[in-house]
Structure 1
Amino acid sequence: MDKVLARLRESKLLLWGIVVALLVGVAIPMLIFLPRRNQASPPPNPEAHQEIVTEVITSTGRASLIGSSPTKGNPNAPIVLFKFSDFECPYCAVAAGNMNEFVGKHEADILYVYKHFPLTQIHPEAMPSAKAAWAAGQQGQFWLYHDGLFVNQNRLGEDLYVELAEAMQLDLEQFNRDRASAEAEAAIQQDLALAQQLQLQGTPSFIMNDLLIPGGAPPELFEKIFNQINAAIKSQSEPQ
């Protein structure tokens, strides 16, 4: 057991080193331009923020963290990737395309979880689009609607929400009722509460298991982190 724990600690340190290197070389310049949510007291540095994220994730049960959020991939996968996203955020649209490829490649080994993080202070259509996507999800079409919103991001608004619902042959009466419901508001507020607890600063924000990944991270970093976490998990099953 001690050897297993030591390997996991070493792997975690290696992963954190990769992320810190990215923050210094690539992500910090990009993060300057990422849509941000006002925070009265953001974490003083990336290391402190990672500690907060680890504490929240490891102290909360997996089922509670996922809740009723839309997911892709293997429900029983040992690796969970959370994306906190805003349908009006242009960087989230780019990330959505990257995640389609990444999750598709690893769908047997990863569970991808979408969390609503509408930045209502700067994006007037963030909340209406989130509620529309949630309503589509009540009819089993969240991911198709999700893709439609991002592809048509320059047209976000009431006409598009109805147009997408009609194109997907959703029950329009139910769709309109669901997106205006207290349940839609509660689901999104629950995601926002988790984002606040994690002290996330903008969109998109990613967390793979308990590792915080910068929003401007390139697809290659996700591959590196996935491979390191996967190797650490597999090492646990090896004879000691």
Structure 2
Amino acid sequence: MSGPQGGPHVLLYGDATCPRCQQAVLRLRAAPVRLEWRHLVLRARGPRPRALAGALEAAGRQGAFWPVLDALVAEPGRTEDPDLWALARRLGLDVQRFDADRRDEATTARIAADLADGLRAGATGTPAILVGGGPVDHGVPDDAWVAALLDRHRGA
């Protein structure tokens, strides 16, 4: 998770290739919320979202989930394998481990479990945002959305 300990918990089901998810990550990373990311990788979007989800999981095993997601959001055109290897090197990750981890069975199972959880929660597309077990909100949170969330959190 990312963000201040006392902030409201926001669960974002996303796809690192989705421009709206990228905007949601930027907005929520700047807000005083505890952001949790889960993968909502839909087959219709092609193979690259799955590859990036694997890269995020592999980076997370080396403590670099958020730096990799931040980099993917900052440079959405740099998502091919050589870009990912260069990013892993730049972040000081063990590149061989990173590459093996992003393709292993545990990673595949995690991505599939996230998808199943998201669909059960009511996610039908990305981004899908859940707060406090409430209904799924599809869309990029704006300033009013964040302010209302913080007001509800303070009143809880």
Do both proteins adopt the same fold according to a TM-score greater than 0.5, normalized to the shorter chain?
yes
* Structure 2, gaps ≥5 residues long: none
| 8 A contact 2:3–2:29 mirrored in 1 | no
Name the residue aligned to 1:93. 22
Name the residue aligned to 1:226. 150
| CA deviation vs aligned residue, 1:32-63 (integer Å, no higher than 9, x gap) | xxxxxxxxxxxxxxxxxxxxxxxxxxxxxxxx
Q: How far did residue 73 of structure 1 move?
A: 3.0
| CA deviation vs aligned residue, 1:126-172 (integer Å, no higher than 9, x gap) | 00011011101100000000111111212221111111101111011
Name the residue aligned to 1:60. none
> TM-score normalised to the size of structure 2?
0.91
Percentage of identical aligned residues: 24
| 8 A contact 1:81–1:206 mirrored in 2 | yes
* Structure 1, gaps ≥5 residues long: 1-70, 234-240
Name the residue aligned to 1:196. 119
Q: How far did residue 74 of structure 1 move?
A: 4.9
| 8 A contact 1:131–1:180 mirrored in 2 | yes
Q: How far did residue 205 of structure 1 move?
A: 0.9
Q: Which runs of 4+ in 1 moved over 3 A?
A: none
Computing the radius of gyration over CA atoms, which structure comes out larger, 1 or 2? 1
CA distance in 2, matches of 1:122, 1:74: 33
| 8 A contact 1:88–1:123 mirrored in 2 | no
Q: What SS does the corresponding residue of 2:77 show, helix, strand or coil?
A: helix
AA of the residue aligned to 2:146: F
Name the residue aligned to 2:131. 208
Name the residue aligned to 1:184. 107
Q: Aligned pairs, how many?
A: 155
AA of the residue aligned to 1:198: A
| 8 A contact 2:14–2:39 mirrored in 1 | yes
